[in-house]
Amino acid sequence: MAMADIRREYSLGGLNRADLDANPLAQFNRWFAQAASGSRWRKIGIALYKLWHAIPGHVPIDVNTMVLATVDKAGRPSTRAVLLKGVDERGFIFYTNYNSRKGRELAENPGAALTFYWPDLEREVCVAGTVSKLSPDESEAYFKSRPHGSRLAAWASNQSNVVADRAALEKKWDEMAAKFPGDVPLPPNWGGYVLKPERIEFWQGRLNRLHDRFCYTRQADNSWKLERLAP
């Protein structure tokens, strides 16, 4: 399966405003506790889901998830998880709404970083470099490969802006579904980015915290300098 075709639906639960604690730190502790323990049936369901994806021919769950770090013009950082959709000689490719928080920050400061973490392999990859937009043609070609509902969502969601409630979001999606019953065109504010790496670090977990770390640094002639780092 091509990297750009790796996708799944997120269907393990929902989140209502009434369910949230007034204190965000208390809400985090609640979610952390659930992640650390969880119900018996939820654990069984996740185990079966992982087992299914362990069968040869199935892509491991969320293997292309990466944390993207950006910085605004005031130097304030922010992070979020996005999906890697390609790697070539240009760098690491992902897609999003250009008017989202990350899009606005990348317009102000194109410097960014990525982190991949594969716990089953005890591996991490950290990437830093400069981000630029893909061409409209390349963005459109990928957009057309997305499921119909995902394409409608790109039109319905004014990403990162305040929305009144879930009903308002779903109403907007229904409006877009009525507007585009067939082909869904590429929104003018949606498309791809490529991060050109200047540094790539590979981390492999080892006993006694004496991990293996190797860092590639791009040189002026575009060659790579490879060095071992202390863990």
pLDDT at 12: 80
Is 146 catalytic? The answer is no
What are the tokens at 167?
């009903």
What are the tokens at 198?
């200047």
Per-residue pLDDT of the chain (231 residues; tens, 9 = 90+): 687 778 788 888 889 889 999 999 999 899 989 888 866 666 666 666 666 656 656 667 889 999 999 999 999 999 999 999 999 999 999 999 999 999 999 999 999 999 999 999 999 999 999 999 999 999 999 999 999 999 999 999 999 999 999 999 999 999 999 999 999 999 999 999 999 999 999 999 999 999 999 999 999 999 999 999 999
Q: Are strands 111-118 and 65-71 parallel, antiparallel or unpaired?
A: antiparallel
- The angle at the Cα of 155, spanning 3 to 74, to the nearest 5 degrees, equals 80
pLDDT at 60: 76
Tell me the pLDDT tens digit for each residue of 164-211: 999 999 999 999 999 999 999 999 999 999 999 999 999 999 999 999
Name the residue range of residue 48's domain: 19-61
pLDDT at 193: 98
- Residues 56 and 84 grouped into a single domain: no
CA 88 to chain centre: 18
Q: Indicate the burial class of 88 (C-beta count within 10 angstroms; 0-12, 13-18, 19 or more).
A: exposed
pLDDT at 10: 81
**Is residue 163 one of the residues assigned to a domain?**
no
Residue 101, classed as helix, strand or coil, is helix
How many domains does the structure of the chain reveal?
A: 2
* Helix spans in the chain (H): 24-36, 40-54, 101-108, 136-143, 148-156, 166-179
- Residues 196 and 115 grouped into a single domain: yes
* Residue keyed to tokens 């060095």: 227
Catalytic residue among 17, 76, 209, 228: 209
pTM, whole model, 2 decimals?
0.86
**Is residue 161 one of the residues assigned to a domain?**
no
pLDDT at 85: 97
- Residues 128 and 90 grouped into a single domain: yes
- Residues 210 and 101 grouped into a single domain: yes
**Is residue 149 one of the residues assigned to a domain?**
no
The DSSP output letter for 76 is -
